[in-house]
Structure 1
């Protein structure tokens, strides 16, 4: 495999930050600020003033449907269901009012979405469902070249229909979480990628996920300050299976950035400057930047874990077809206090959906046909059809492998073990299940160097969104919880090596409203 520019292991700051943010919650959160009355709080949304605007149609299909051409309606549909505003919730102090189709820590939504089309480069203004023009001209091929690829001549391939870029506007999250915002923003970038891929695929589009790209030309193209709002992912979109004919090309950041006139970064109101307030975040982010495509890593397959106990072989039936739009609108993280209510949930249907979470994703972190570098562990509390206990999901076969002895796997002891290593807050009584995404830390940093921090969190976020959607299809809330003791989770799941790290913990249960008043934001839907 080819390592990143500082060598396979990078400078080490990403690996150390990973240790702190996953293994030492007290240190990771010691600079956390109150979210109430915080003078550094930025605007709820990033708004550009004085730039041309392109309204998007408010008439969108009731479900994303396959398209033959990527026209204005298709773009509007993808953005509406991909990252649009889904509802407002009025709860304690009104601090978390706006909700989108993806989860975000405290609904801060630090991740921004930029859209590169044949006629220009835009920022997606979600509250107004519009595009704001940043730069005229077709820069899709430039963005491809930043990923070390180009449209192949003579292959019959066309340029991508669009290229999306996701960035992390750190101040929106760091005003509360300071350095820890890097974990939250990279997680959220993965969550959003997972949703854009789901919606795009339902429309007959293919998303190519690029964690590796040359940062400087992307930042210059979009007018981003690399310390305050770096690009995190580049996502070319093709109709159907197009894009397979792209070829590898070499390029440097300097040569691609040289022909671009600078755009002044937009400064949000608020007192927080991330580069001064968050020194560790800034150091890790800077260490992850790349300047030459020839140094991009090529990921090697990660061997799957083995289990001695006989597995539950595969889901006994396929999951029903997913009504994606309705599920995305109903998906939620539960009320402020996550309090499950008794419910009879079909475990086999959930199992079948979990087994499909990785299907069809095209990512530069996972070679075609290779095992996924993140594994799903399912701790079952109260599901019909699956005995209580802890299991590892085999991505290749769909089998559930028990990861503890038969005696330990009975009753609700497995869920109680997770409760004991979770910071008090959520209620675990009547919990349907808990999902952990376990990543190979050494794989991430040995392969991608300091950029491995982004890669492992973003890949995990992609899967986490799929899991939350799978749960929402059965009326379950999916609460992502970072407040757990990683070593305790390892023991609860029978993991014996430090390299295997629980990157996400997701609580799944049916919950009540919890005092919330929910107001849906419905687009003007049309039948198809």
Structure 2
């Protein structure tokens, strides 16, 4: 019996039950999934269609990410932010190609369920409003005109007076659920965290600071962007601000309290969006029930996790901003469909550079200002030169070996991913979070809050791995109870991510860039000229 399971086998709430089912009973949970196949007639469209809504093409994204010499976001900033955060970076061809469109973040089978909306107060050539980002055409689509700053502030229960824009991330569940059924809620929560973490890194590289908001009034924001529930659900919001010389801007809570019903009444319907296609989402009771249980209806219920240990202050350069972030994002790889890296050791210094900045704080409404994310990490070293094989706890002062010195096999740790060759990996990183405390603080929204926070950490790890020439494969195939024991997790903590690292090996796929990159800033509507980018074989094998 798990800590969240009652004696009669039932759990106290949809959230608590979903925690148990998705981590400890996922095989049975996925057994009854639709099991749709990529490329088959049942596969949903991977890009949203917006009909005749007004479109504003973006200029070609810059080839390198560096602070732009502008005082406020413009078309060049929006182009770079959206392309490198959630755009399509390359397409896949070849005899074994199955996942055609590749983003800057990992995505289960490249289904990419996360949609992105931009709120902007406007600039030359772009009226104030809320826009959907169309990654297939690198274009903004106007879904609701007007400033809406006060509305967004009220829905977030936050002071956004000095915000220069915001990204709203939503989830189109059926893109993933047509294959994975109810289990897709977990995959979508993980991917939202990956995208949110990427947004923060890209914004930082462009000279802005993004805040991660998990708590907001769901109904009003979905009305704002025209997201049709239960097909699509707003999952996270990231306002961004000009960087301050005096330090970071904290998340500022609003003193006023708002209700979702009152706010939603202030907006009319979003006109012009085509009706979404009919799907089987209504038949997935666990997924839709979990999404409904996690919704918030008043800002007075917003909360924070208790303060944890103060973030460690490093004296080395491991936490420095990722060099040449755009290049690292283009190289980021999840490996071939069957993760079979080259069997060669990875130096310990490289692993330390990957792990060093994982827990640097970012502004989040889930934790006190300046606190590190509520995530812990462990490393299973398999082939790391200079480090003993075995499981190590990742701590600010280094790696601490757990358990005996006896060699460990994948099944000893609870690894169950049949498409990962654990004998060839260099190491595996596990990310865990305090499920019990978060459930008490956030209720049934805790599941997505912790998966978002852990996902942001996971994206940092994936990008830093690319900088070291490593593939990073995220996979949920593990026995959570067995793994928790090996990691010596305290009661109430759960392992949320397994990330295998290794030197990528060759396969038969071609990965081709889909967007020409500009080496200089472009004016709105004026794309950059041709570049030397050419199709590459066996350079990046990413999912």
Alpha-carbon distance in 1 for matches of 2:284, 2:29: 12
Match of 2:260 among 247, 253, 256: 253
Matched residue, 2:368 = 367
Q: Secondary structure at the match of 1:181?
A: helix
Deviates more, 1:240-249 or 1:127-136: 240-249
Q: 1:511 to 1:14 in 2, by over 3 A?
A: same
Deviations 1:57-116 (A, max 9, x none): 115242333443211111111111111111111256643110011111000000000000
Matched residue, 2:524 = none
Matched residue, 1:224 = 227
Matched residue, 1:342 = 343
**Is the Cα contact below 8 Å between 1:140 and 1:159 reproduced in 2?**
no
In the TM superposition, 1:384-463 aligns within 5 A as: 384-394=385-395, 397-405=396-404, 407-408=405-406, 413-414=407-408, 416-417=410-411, 421-463=415-457
Structure 1 residue 134 displacement after superposition: 0.4
Structure 1 residue 446 displacement after superposition: 0.8
Q: Secondary structure at the match of 1:194?
A: helix
Alpha-carbon RMSD: 2.4
TM-score for the superposition, normalised by structure 1: 0.88
Match of 2:239 among 236, 241, 264: 236
Matched residue, 2:532 = none
Alpha-carbon distance in 1 for matches of 2:193, 2:61: 28
Structure 2: 5+ residue runs without aligned partners? 1-10, 122-127, 522-543
Matched residue, 1:525 = 518
Match of 2:270 among 246, 263, 272: 263
Match of 1:179 among 175, 182, 187: 182
Structure 1 residue 37 displacement after superposition: 6.3
**Is the Cα contact below 8 Å between 1:251 and 1:294 reproduced in 2?**
yes
Alpha-carbon distance in 2 for matches of 1:454, 1:431: 29
Structure 1 residue 355 displacement after superposition: 2.2
Deviations 1:289-308 (A, max 9, x none): 1111011122212469xxxx
**Is the Cα contact below 8 Å between 2:373 and 2:453 reproduced in 1?**
no
Q: Secondary structure at the match of 1:47?
A: coil
Matched residue, 2:527 = none
**Is the Cα contact below 8 Å between 1:380 and 1:415 reproduced in 2?**
no
Is residue 25 from structure 1 mapped to residue 34 from structure 2 by the alignment? no
Alpha-carbon distance in 1 for matches of 2:38, 2:119: 37
Matched residue, 2:54 = 52
**Is the Cα contact below 8 Å between 2:90 and 2:102 reproduced in 1?**
yes
Structure 1 residue 226 displacement after superposition: 2.8
Structure 1 residue 403 displacement after superposition: 2.2
Q: 1:419 to 1:91 in 2, by over 3 A?
A: farther
TM-score for the superposition, normalised by structure 2: 0.86
**Is the Cα contact below 8 Å between 1:419 and 1:428 reproduced in 2?**
no
Q: 1:142 to 1:37 in 2, by over 3 A?
A: same
In the TM superposition, 1:277-356 aligns within 5 A as: 277-302=283-308, 318=318, 322-356=323-357
Alpha-carbon distance in 1 for matches of 2:139, 2:364: 28
Q: 1:481 to 1:125 in 2, by over 3 A?
A: same
Deviates more, 1:243-252 or 1:256-265: 243-252
**Is the Cα contact below 8 Å between 1:315 and 1:398 reproduced in 2?**
no
Structure 1 residue 419 displacement after superposition: 6.5
**Is the Cα contact below 8 Å between 1:355 and 1:393 reproduced in 2?**
no
Is residue 166 from structure 1 mapped to residue 174 from structure 2 by the alignment? no
Deviations 1:409-449 (A, max 9, x none): xxxx2464567532322111231110000111102211100
In the TM superposition, 1:71-150 aligns within 5 A as: 71-91=74-94, 94-118=97-121, 119-150=128-159
**Is the Cα contact below 8 Å between 1:379 and 1:389 reproduced in 2?**
yes
Q: 1:490 to 1:220 in 2, by over 3 A?
A: same
Matched residue, 2:5 = none
Matched residue, 1:41 = 43
Alpha-carbon distance in 1 for matches of 2:194, 2:22: 19
In the TM superposition, 1:475-486 aligns within 5 A as: 475-486=469-480
Q: How many residues get paired?
A: 495
Q: Secondary structure at the match of 2:82?
A: helix
Deviates more, 1:57-66 or 1:458-467: 57-66
Q: 1:296 to 1:11 in 2, by over 3 A?
A: farther
Deviations 1:252-294 (A, max 9, x none): 112221111112564344x4231x2211111111111111101
Structure 1 residue 502 displacement after superposition: 0.8
Alpha-carbon distance in 2 for matches of 1:92, 1:15: 43
Structure 1 residue 472 displacement after superposition: 0.8
Q: 1:287 to 1:318 in 2, by over 3 A?
A: closer
Matched residue, 1:507 = 500
Q: 1:398 to 1:165 in 2, by over 3 A?
A: farther
Q: 1:262 to 1:336 in 2, by over 3 A?
A: same
Q: Secondary structure at the match of 1:233?
A: strand
Structure 1 residue 481 displacement after superposition: 0.5
Q: 1:388 to 1:67 in 2, by over 3 A?
A: farther
Structure 1 residue 243 displacement after superposition: 4.8
Q: Secondary structure at the match of 1:236?
A: strand
Structure 1 residue 496 displacement after superposition: 5.5
Match of 1:200 among 191, 196, 203: 203
Q: 1:339 to 1:51 in 2, by over 3 A?
A: same
